[in-house]
Amino acid sequence: MKERRLNKTWLIVGAILLAVIVIYFIYRTYKPDIELLIDLNAHNKAKLLHMIRSHGFTDMFLLITLIGILNAIPGMSNSVVCIFAGLCYGPIGGFLINWSGNILGNCAVMSIIRKIDLSKRVKKNKLLRYLLHQKHPLIALTIGFMIPVIPSVLVNYAGAQLDVDRKHYLAMVIVGMAPTSFLYAFGGDAIFKGNIRRLVGVGIAILVLLCFYLLIKKIWQYHEENA
């Protein structure tokens, strides 16, 4: 019996609609906080911290959900939401929110990716080919999760093609999503505190990740050409 395939277009449309609904509830919940952020001063900072601490787990879960949904939609970025989480909840709280959302988003994609017909363009992507033909695929996939410019759908599809078991997959996602989750949270907290040095540090760290990606890509290309 032929396995029933899921319609990729409808999944993306449904995810976008769900994201819009979650954004609406986040806006309603955090509207007073956002208004204080727009007019931030010393007095408002203290008031804002008090307001943020009054938010319960349900409000934090809205942010986790939105981060997960945006992570799962191809071509979407959740960086603004991750920075907002860091801005509101600080580097540790923001990191935990970002990390949880990114892990959940990737796990959701991995759970359905075998049931989706991806386009030929995705299947012939050079990055995907590099990920699939590494001597140490688990390390390559972990690095893939770390680099913001590598679409998570490619990394998840590579993991599915390599038939990575759940234990190793979860370990890769947990490790791979940690650096950027922390950097965005740390950057958001630096914005809140007006700490330029920290912002510069975050910018440099992100540039290092991008340079690391370019270096890895060059190495992959070199090995492919000399294979």
- List the chain domain ranges: 8-225
Considering only CA atoms, which of 13, 25, 11 is closest in space to residue 108?
11
Taking each helix axis from N to C end, the angle separating 152-161 and 79-112, rounded to the nearest 10 degrees, works out to 20
Q: What is the pLDDT of residue 15?
A: 93
Which pair of tokens denotes residue 89? 């909840």
Q: What is the pLDDT of residue 225?
A: 63
- The rounded distance, in Å, linking the Cα atoms of 140 and 151 is 14
From its phi and psi, is residue 178 left (phi > 0), alpha (psi between -120 and 50) or beta? Answer: alpha
Taking each helix axis from N to C end, the angle separating 79-112 and 8-38, rounded to the nearest 10 degrees, works out to 160
- The rounded distance, in Å, linking the Cα atoms of 67 and 97 is 8
Q: What is the pLDDT of residue 226?
A: 63
Q: What is the pLDDT of residue 171?
A: 94
Contact 37/84 with Cβ under 8 angstroms? no
Q: What is the pTM of this model?
A: 0.85
Q: Digits of tens for pLDDT over the chain (227 positions)?
A: 455 677 788 889 999 999 999 999 999 988 888 888 777 776 777 777 777 777 778 888 999 999 999 999 988 889 999 998 998 888 999 999 999 999 999 999 999 988 887 777 777 778 888 888 877 888 889 988 988 888 888 899 999 989 999 999 999 999 999 999 999 999 988 887 788 888 888 888 888 888 877 887 777 666 666 65
Cα 168-134-111 angle, rounded to 5 deg: 40
User: For the purposes of burial, counting CB atoms within 10 Å of the CB of 110, is it exposed (0-12), middle (13-18) or buried (19 or more)?
Assistant: buried
Q: What is the pLDDT of residue 209?
A: 82
- The rounded distance, in Å, linking the Cα atoms of 70 and 58 is 19
- The rounded distance, in Å, linking the Cα atoms of 108 and 69 is 9
Q: What is the pLDDT of residue 3?
A: 58
